[in-house]
Amino acid sequence: MTQHFHLIKTDTATAARRGRLQTLHGVVETPIFMPVGTQGTVKALTPTQIRETGAQIILGNTYHLNLRPGSELIRELGGLHKFMGWDGPILTDSGGFQVFSLAKLRDIRDDGIAFASHLDGTKLFLGPREVMTIQSNLGSDIAMVIDECPPWPCSREECRRAVDRSYRWAQECKQLATDNGFLGGGHHVFAIAQGSTFDDLRREAAESLTALDFPGYAVGGVSVGEPEPEMLKQVAATTPFLPADKPRYTMGLGTPPQILKMIALGVDMFDCVHPTRVARNGAAFTPDGLINLRNERYRADPLPLVEAFDNYTCRNFSRAYLRHLVMANEILACTLLTLHNVHFYLNLVAQARAHIEAGDFATWSRAWIERYEAGERAASGASFAG
């Protein structure tokens, strides 16, 4: 057991865990979902509204914030917390995912990644030193190492290079963080285990990074286009070889059922743009699946999105009103639906924590997933803009 992470209870029927993570800006109860604030904002919400959703920790992005407005400016103005008016914990992604998503604009080298800015083509380089310096400037509670995220599918040789390179960069990141005094005092650095679909490479990555004794670990390279069964298989091939007394984070996913399935595999932390993105497209999460408010069936519907759901949107507005805002392209639609969707995710992980503590997580999560997926199948004729 480590000082910053306390494992409170483990489920007897699954690998689900109930934990508590201490950071510089507060305690995080796990399992937890982290709303994504890539540009220093969770889209459409104020910090007060983010708090009202039940959020404990949010995510920012090293690559984007360094491009605009610049990490040195943010440091001069008091750090990212003060800059964006959020006083809770912040995890910052290193920019490694942009290696994957901006593949046409980058060149991977042994010492780091050379990018052409997606904004104006300006040349930018991210290596271990740059990534740790930027995240130190931001004042991140949790800083991620830089890694190489291989695409899906990829060859074993390609994956082997990515795993080896990611390990070397992780070593450098930890040493740099230690040397500049970033590690400790509530600041943490998490390593990222890659390995694509190769179980032996995932185990090797997990075990070699564990030997470096990071404060936390992430499962990287999932939800990059592979089908869900393969995604779950990759997580299952990684988590058993990560230390039980450190937090585990699966990056960039997923749907509500996927999150529950990942919790059952022993994952503690999640982030995803899904709840905010679908809100901007007029869709909302319910226990019976995602609903598209553009559908005519909601034009005169007096019910809230979810009955007895305790968020500002559900307490005050009907589906009919929300559909009106969506159809009229009113900005308020984005705020109200985002608030609901983010709260939906955070309420889900809060329920998961309670059921892990109660000892019935497996039964509860199975029933929850069955209801949600049955609702999705029933509404399969409906569509929404991705």
- Whether residue 266 is preceded by a cis peptide bond, meaning omega within 30 degrees of 0, is no
Nearest CA among 121, 110, 111, 113 for reference residue 95: 113
Cα distance between residue 311 and residue 341, in whole Å = 10
The secondary structure of the chain in percent helix, strand, coil, rounded to multiples of 5, reads 45, 20, 35
Q: From the candidates 11, 141, 268, 271, which is the catalytic residue?
A: 271
Q: How far apart are the first and last CA of the chain?
A: 42
> 3-class secondary structure for 309-351?
CCCHHHHHCCHHHHHHHHHCCCHHHHHHHHHHHHHHHHHHHHH
By the 10 Å C-beta count (0-12 exposed, 13-18 middle, 19+ buried), 363 is classed as exposed
* Residue 289 backbone class (left: φ over 0; alpha: ψ -120 to 50; beta: rest): left
Pairing label, strands 216-219, 188-193: parallel
Q: Give the DSSP H or E segment for 193.
A: strand 188-193
Cβ pair 337, 284 in contact under 8 A: yes
CA distance 64 to 43: 14
Q: Whole-angstrom Cα distance, residue 243 to residue 69?
A: 37
Q: Which of 290, 377, 270 is nearest to 341 (CA)?
A: 290
Q: Let me know if 93 is a catalytic residue.
A: yes
Per-residue DSSP letter, 240? G
Q: Which residues pair with 285 in a beta bridge?
A: 290
Phi, psi dihedrals of residue 56, rounded to the nearest 5°: -110, -30
Q: Which residue among the candidates 11, 87, 93, 147 is catalytic per the annotation? A: 93
Q: Identify the CA nearest to 271 among candidates 215, 216, 218, 230.
A: 218
Strand partners, 184: 187
Q: Which residues are catalytic?
A: 93, 271
